[in-house]
Structure 1
Amino acid sequence: MSSNNPIGIFDSGIGGTSIWKEIHQLLPGENTIYLADSKNAPYGQKSKEEIIALSCKNTELLLAQNCKLIVVACNTATTNAIKELRAKYDVPFIGIEPAIKPAANQSKTATIGILATKGTLNSELFSRAVQTHHYVKIIEQIGHGLVPLIEEGKIVSAEMTALLEEYLKPMVDANIDYLVLGCTHYPYLIPQIKKIIPDHIQIIDSGQAVAKQTQNVLKKNNLLNSSDETKKQIFYTNSDSKVLKDILGFTENVYEKEF
């Protein structure tokens, strides 16, 4: 495996670009290939078997592009499929799961909120994480409808505001002091969320931790890119590329592709 090979990243749509941005900021010397499986979003409503099948399909597409490491930039895919991916493919995988640990350890009210997909909250991995942090009260909320609105480019919309108010108000009333975003789409909602929750509630997502772990695994496997060649950041979506381009803030190397 060449250290010049790209990092592969996939998600059930555009949300994982929040992870790509953190990785690219920390590791600007790396090539990356991003797959937005928007056609099949959201993964959170699908069965475990469907999620594993989609995750294998995405992995194989990235391996065909000679990716040296794969970031599963989707909480639902990580919590439901990463065990199977690691068993099946001979490449390092970086997963992502809700940042319960820092929220639980830092909470002063011993009450934290988690906004995530049904697939993540119902997973065995999530259940184990909750049991580990039994000393805090965890208010769980499925973000029904949030991912489709983000995929449609309706981040700032009346529908989004109504859903966020419905989901967040009970958490505020329950006296949470940390809100964990358990889906990589949700960091794009932070400006909206901040208008609804009080200033003292801290919002946590997993982006920086995933970028750091990616760096650590590349170092450990001697896979950090040391080439002087111009780096490439390539993005593929199997849906309309406009929303992906809008959320990235640029249009170059963003392609529509059937997969």
Structure 2
Amino acid sequence: MINNNPIGLFDSGIGGTSIWKEIHQLLPFENTIYLADSKNAPYGEKTKEQIIDLSFKNTEFLLQQNCKLIVVACNTATTNAIKELRAHFKVPFIGIEPAIKPAALHSKTQKIGILATKGTLNSSLFAKNVEQFHTIQIIEQIGYGLVELIESGQIESEKMNTLLKEYLTPMIKSDIDYLVLGCSHYPYLVPQIKKILPNHITIIDSGEAVARQTKKILEDLVGFRDAHGSQHVFYTNSNPSVLETILGNTYPVLSKDF
């Protein structure tokens, strides 16, 4: 099956580019359109109704660009809005959820940590996923302030390092052996996190799994692009410089008020 329309992705800012990179690496010939709703970041501090409303607006924009598949590259939007998105729109959706399952299955200490937004940790979908692993102790930590620092280009700042130490130290003392990053922004913090965590703690996120699922949906339902030389367009409703830096100044970033 051939389908040359682009894959659409949206997130509450630049964080979902960590998911985009995994998808692009696995599917290099697919065109993509990425929507960064940085103006409304972080979604994790908003109500469920607000998150659903923003997710609908993002989806409608991507559908106007003829996207054949939409990746909700945001844990908070997935856990709070993907059910409503799938009920309202006909296009296939792929969500991103914290990778609790692989961490729980491989943990030797039976203790795992999860760093995520308030909106993700308080969602009913997250609670449902956690219920499956009642023999595992899950130490949850809301990453207050992390998304804001990433969005303002302060990834390597002293303030970021201070917050990460505050959030991770109790997990280390609790003897976790896996740290689940439950926000698509957080993979950009891995270098700093590795400096804080002992070597035996494995960091895990959902990017690779989302890329594999995207490929499967294209194969089973939507169709692959049949040409070489892909095109990638990035939109933001905030200062484009941070997104441009994250992308290595390789792709065009268009400012759009939405």
TM-score after normalising by structure 2: 0.98
Q: How does 1:207-222 map to 2 (within 5 A)?
A: 207-222=207-222
Separation in 1, partners of 2:252, 2:227:
20
Amino acid at match of 1:166: E
Separation in 1, partners of 2:133, 2:181:
17
Match in the other structure for 1:257: 256
Separation in 1, partners of 2:251, 2:118:
34
Q: How does 1:69-218 map to 2 (within 5 A)?
A: 69-218=69-218
Work out whether residues 2 and 68 of structure 1, in 8 Å CA contact, stay in contact via their aligned partners in 2.
Answer: no
Mean alpha-carbon deviation: is it higher for 249-258 or for 69-78?
Answer: 249-258
What CA RMSD, in Å, does the superposition of the two structures yield over aligned residues?
1.0
Q: Does 1:240 align with 2:239?
A: yes
Work out whether residues 2 and 224 of structure 2, in 8 Å CA contact, stay in contact via their aligned partners in 1.
Answer: no
Stretches of 4+ aligned residues off by more than 6 angstroms:
none
Work out whether residues 69 and 222 of structure 2, in 8 Å CA contact, stay in contact via their aligned partners in 1.
Answer: no
Once the 2 structures are TM-superposed, how far is the Cα of residue 70 of structure 1 from its aligned partner?
0.0
Separation in 2, partners of 1:21, 1:222:
20
User: How far does the alpha carbon of each residue in 1:178-225 deviate from its partner, in whole angstroms, 9 at most, with x for none?
Assistant: 000000000000000001010000000000000000000000014111
User: How far does the alpha carbon of each residue in 1:52-82 deviate from its partner, in whole angstroms, 9 at most, with x for none?
Assistant: 0000000000000000000000000000000
The alignment covers a number of residue pairs equal to 258
Work out whether residues 238 and 255 of structure 2, in 8 Å CA contact, stay in contact via their aligned partners in 1.
Answer: yes
Separation in 1, partners of 2:250, 2:108:
44
Gaps of 5+ in 1: none
Gaps of 5+ in 2: none
State the SS of the aligned residue for 1:23. Answer: helix
Separation in 2, partners of 1:156, 1:52:
32
Separation in 1, partners of 2:37, 2:190:
23
State the SS of the aligned residue for 1:195. Answer: helix
Separation in 2, partners of 1:128, 1:222:
29
Match in the other structure for 1:65: 65
Amino acid at match of 2:54: L
Once the 2 structures are TM-superposed, how far is the Cα of residue 252 of structure 1 from its aligned partner?
3.2
Match in the other structure for 1:41: 41
Separation in 2, partners of 1:14, 1:90:
26
Percent of matched pairs sharing the same residue: 69
Separation in 2, partners of 1:152, 1:191:
18
Separation in 1, partners of 2:139, 2:222:
41
